[in-house]
Amino acid sequence: MRVVYLRSLLWIATVAFGFVGSAFAQSGVDNFPIKTIRLIVPYAAGGGTDLVMRAIAPGMSEALGQAIVVENRPGAGTISATEAVVRAEPDGHVILAVGAPIYLNTALGIKTPYDPLKDLAPVSLLVNNPALLLVGSSVNAKNVKELVALSKLQKGGLSYASAGTGSIGHLAGELLKARIGIEMEHIPYKGSAPALADLMGGQLPVAIDAIIPSGAQVKAGKVRALAILSSERSPLLPDVPTLAEAGFPGMEAAATFGLMLPAKTPAGVIAKIHAAMKKAITNPATSKQLYDMGYQVVANNPEQFGVYLREQITTWTKIVKDNKIKAD
């Protein structure tokens, strides 16, 4: 009888502890946030990711009732900042801003001290910065089909520039080669600026680069955009067709910005942060600010962002392996 009695006490204690733990967890969600929130941006101040985060931070702060401090932590290809967030307390008070490297690092086989799909929880894909297929003003091709035909007439194909090996422009170029049969040789540059400079100067015929910053050169008439690698046209360049409109559906590539949290963050806290983000980014003034920059606002939910990340890793891993691409 004594054994049964002790087991009963143990069962009651276990159940009681579970209820207490649940109460504490729920209390933490209900009270969130209780202090200043740090929004970690793994890039220097003034870049695209930084500008997007600073655009939405005030609205999120107002919705959550706590200050949000944007903290720039550049370096190591975003890995050090990402690792810091992975190791942070999963209570919602440290948020990570992510760009394309969150999936491209994995696709490129870069070793990281974390798994982006297991060690981070998605909140939302905020905006797209879609890539453009660009040609110099002297290139005799008015559309994508003419460019494909032109590439087949050139011995060895056309040369195309990107912001560097492993960049979204580079991988998008290889995707185009695989899917639409265009013949091109990749010429990597150290950033978008020198690549666009040589395209404008006629040193090479083609470049693939994100609409920010290359859209400004298109608007100025210094280069031509034959297509945008997106599901919809951009308000920044409304006359530039999508690849689907150009006759080549099913291909998209963009420098994307989103929000993630440490993996064990409670679902209720994720929901609160997502709701605050949604309220901030759909504010008419904020939406206009982002659209005027050239970004396409997405603001999807955590599940959709998780699916997107897995799809991107799958797509670009295949492109990397098929083309034996190695990161610089």
pLDDT in tens, the chain (328 residues): 444 444 444 454 444 445 444 444 454 688 999 999 999 999 999 988 999 999 999 999 999 999 999 999 998 889 999 999 999 999 999 999 999 999 999 999 999 999 999 999 999 999 999 999 999 999 999 999 999 999 999 888 999 999 999 999 999 999 999 999 899 999 999 999 999 999 999 999 999 999 998 999 999 999 999 999 999 999 889 999 999 999 999 889 998 999 999 999 999 999 999 999 999 999 999 999 998 888 989 999 999 999 999 999 999 999 999 998 887 6
- How confident is the model at residue 28, as a pLDDT? 60
User: Residue 83 CB: number of other CB atoms within 10 A?
Assistant: 16
Q: How many domains is the chain partitioned into structurally?
A: 2
H helix intervals, 92-163: 101-107, 144-153
Tell me if 146 sits within 8 A of 184, measured CB to CB.
Answer: no
Asked if residue 183 belongs to a domain, the reply is yes
Unique residue bearing structure tokens 């605050």: 276
Residues 123, 266, single domain; the answer is yes
Asked if residue 102 belongs to a domain, the reply is yes
Report the distance separating Cα 237 and Cα 217, nearest Å. 11
Burial of 184 (0-12, 13-18, 19+ CB in 10 A): buried
Residues 113, 145, single domain; the answer is no
Report the distance separating Cα 56 and Cα 288, nearest Å. 12
Asked if residue 219 belongs to a domain, the reply is yes
Report the distance separating Cα 298 and Cα 258, nearest Å. 10
Tell me if 165 sits within 8 A of 326, measured CB to CB.
Answer: yes
User: Residue 195 CB: number of other CB atoms within 10 A?
Assistant: 27
Asked if residue 247 belongs to a domain, the reply is no
Residues 259, 120, single domain; the answer is yes
Q: For 165, phi and psi rounded to 5 degrees?
A: -60, 130
Residues 313, 272, single domain; the answer is yes
Any idea what the CATH number is for the domain that residue 199 is in? 3.40.190.10
Tell me if 266 sits within 8 A of 130, measured CB to CB.
Answer: no
How large is the C-alpha radius of gyration of the chain? 23
